[in-house]
Amino acid sequence: MEKRALLAFALSLLVLVLWQSFYGGLTRKPRNPAPESDHTVPTDSSATVQPAPSASPTPRAAQAPIDPVPLESLPKEQLDLSKKPYDAWVVETPLYTARIAGTGGRLESFQLKRHRVAADEGSPPMEMISTRASGYLPGAVDLLHHPDWQTSLLPFSSDAPKTIRLDGAEKHSITFSAEIPGEVRIEKVFVFSAETYSIDLETRVVNLSGENLAEQLGISFYAAPFGTASEENGYNTSQLTRLSQGTLEDYKPKDLMKKAPTFEPPLTWVGYQNNYFLQALVPVGEGGYRVVPRLLNESSGLVQIAYVTDPFQVGTGGVHTVPLRLYFGPKELSRLEAAGHQLQRAVDFGWFTFLAKPALQLLKWLYNYLGNYGLAIIVLTVFIKLLFWPLTHKSFKSMQMMKKIQPKMAQIREKYKDDREKLNQELMMLYRTYKINPLGGCLPLVLQIPVFFALYRMLYGAIELRHQPFCLWINDLTAPDRLPVGFQIPYLGGLPVLTLLMGASMFVQQKMTPASGDPRQEKIMLMLPVVFTVFFINFPSGLVLYWLVNNILSIVQQYWINRQAS
């Protein structure tokens, strides 16, 4: 029974590993099919974005319904910033350096000062505008009923200084404007803060003509995978996510290829993210908009996220205002919570998030005292092992007792092999005689499975561990451990020392575990260390470290119990 319980636990882990390999883990509620759409934006929405008071109110007779623009015709215009010099404005804060291009008035760069592209000290800062090289820059504003005006490519100007430095609780707004003379002026107001990765963006459409302006606004944001093709895998995939009415839904590129969905309000936020970073669009208004994501390039993973308003009218001299909030930054719980709008929901460790988040907080608390996340993982593993020590002790002792009565059980099975009812009665009597609970070895393991899965996901996806060194050659706890040996090992590159030690410790643990008496089961159990070593080869070194320390503590506990029993 106990061996079968161990096998069940091991196979459960194996299933999780295979699931992670193909689907990236147990993360969200299954995505509902996208609602059928005729690719048009309805005009009879119950909630609409209200324009600011117009200098000249629009006559009632002009409030006729306006035909919406078909969503498949949304513009997707890129900037070519290499042809000629252009104006740019730079905002420096302790957290990031942002750069806004005058051409289009769009965010050209957003570099994180506390996060690098790679673990090397000389690596450049992490760039959150992952579409920068392609020219598809976020913040493009289009007047959909006048595509010939090409407002997303207009040169925007501002009276603000070209370089702005913020510190402390300071905030600063920058207003950009561009005009189609005699027709319309587009104003963009960016509000930056020194203490958060959030940006407030207010877009204004000012009617300069002598007649009512019937219009519909599209504000496009662009995203692409944060890492290289080799870094994009089932464990750390860049994908689209939305939070609506408390439910998270993921959309991988293949989902967007099948059919472009249309996200209806209410929407808490729509984001593009991987394990560590998030670009989020937060609609501030209650309604009067749709968010339309589209996959523009399958090979590069380029995604357009268009915020499309309902059609509106603006009287002569009137203003129509659309407020949004943006987030470009790391998925640090404290930063996300401070930004509001439930952005902390982007940190999702699967079904056992309620266990993983407290474990992460404890890990961060330990790091504050130890100064090394590797040591913090070791101490956390010891703490969890002590927490479950009574349960595992009971499990091991039950296995020892089961081993002692194996000969008696074999005799009973042989004697009553043709009478199953009598066989079960005699086995239960044997258990009562020796005061053994046949589930004693299984239940403690079952109780530990949720904790293991929670730690598994947390150690895999916590940005706090990204690029954090442990010791010697291990300089990134979120990357596989590889010891350079002077030549390239096929498939591996370097030597996975930590993973091999983990496999060896698992083998020792299996050898010390009481035998079940079934030779086939024993062979299977001895093969598991080999299987797990292969699967752990490309796992983050932080996760391998946890599993290695857990195995060593289990060996110590098993040795102590075996010595007491002898």
Which comes out higher in pLDDT, residue 234 or 15? 234
What's the chain's length in residues?
A: 566
- More confidently predicted of 435 and 108: 108
Q: What is the pLDDT of residue 564?
A: 66
- Looking at this protein, which amino acid is placed at residue 411? Q
Q: What's the average model confidence in pLDDT over 29-54?
A: 37
**pLDDT, greater one: 429 or 196:** 196
Checking if the pLDDT of 226 tops 90, the result is no
CB within 8 Å of 330: residues ≥ 6 apart: 112, 114, 115, 197, 276, 277, 278, 463
Task: Pick the more confident residue, 120 or 368.
Answer: 368
Per DSSP, the chain holds a count of helices (H) and strands (E) of 12, 19
Better-predicted residue by pLDDT, 316 or 62? 316
User: For residues 100 and 86, is the Cβ–Cβ distance under 8 A?
Assistant: no
| CA 397-402-405 angle, 5° bins | 130
Cα torsion 416, 422, 424, 425 to 10°: value is -130
Quick check: 558 pLDDT over 80?
A: no
How would residue 557 be classed by pLDDT, with cut points 50, 70 and 90? confident
CB contact set of 331 (below 8 Å; sequence gap of 6+): 273, 275, 276, 277, 278, 346, 347, 463
How does residue 78 score in pLDDT terms, banded at 50, 70 and 90? confident
Q: State the SS3 of 250-267.
A: EECHHHHHHCCCCECCCC
pLDDT in the model for residue 483? 87
Q: What is the mean pLDDT of residues 358-365?
A: 92
Q: Is the pLDDT of residue 277 over 60?
A: yes
| Residue 123 · residue 116 · CB < 8 Å | yes
pLDDT, one tens digit per residue, over 368-380 is 999 999 999 999 9
Residue with tokens 């099919």: 33
Tell me how far apart the alpha carbons of residues 131 and 140 are, in angstroms, rounded to a whole number. Answer: 13
Q: Does the predicted model carry a pTM greater than 0.85?
A: no
Residue range 162-190: mean pLDDT, rounded: 93
Report in angstroms the alpha-carbon separations of 418 from 408, 410, 413.
17, 14, 9
Q: What is the pLDDT of residues 79-96, one digit of tens each?
A: 777 666 788 999 999 999
CATH 2.70.98.90, the chain: domain bounds: 71-347
pLDDT, mean over the chain: 80
Range with lowest mean pLDDT among 62-66, 215-219, 301-305, 422-426: 62-66
Where is pLDDT greater, at 127 or 2? 127
The CATH T-level fold of domain 71-347 is Beta-galactosidase; Chain A, domain 5 (2.70.98)
- Please check the confidence at residue 259 and state whether its pLDDT lies above 80: no
pLDDT (0 to 100) of residue 203:
96
**pLDDT, tens digit, 9 for 90 and up, residues 495-523:** 888 999 988 998 888 777 655 545 566 66
What tokens appear for 546 in the block? 């946890």
> What's the whole-number mean pLDDT along residues 315-339?
93
**For 480-496, what is the HEC assignment?**
CCCECCCCCECCCECEC
- Which pLDDT score is estimated for 476? 87
Per-residue pLDDT of 425-458, as tens digits, reads: 777 777 777 666 665 555 556 667 788 788 888 8
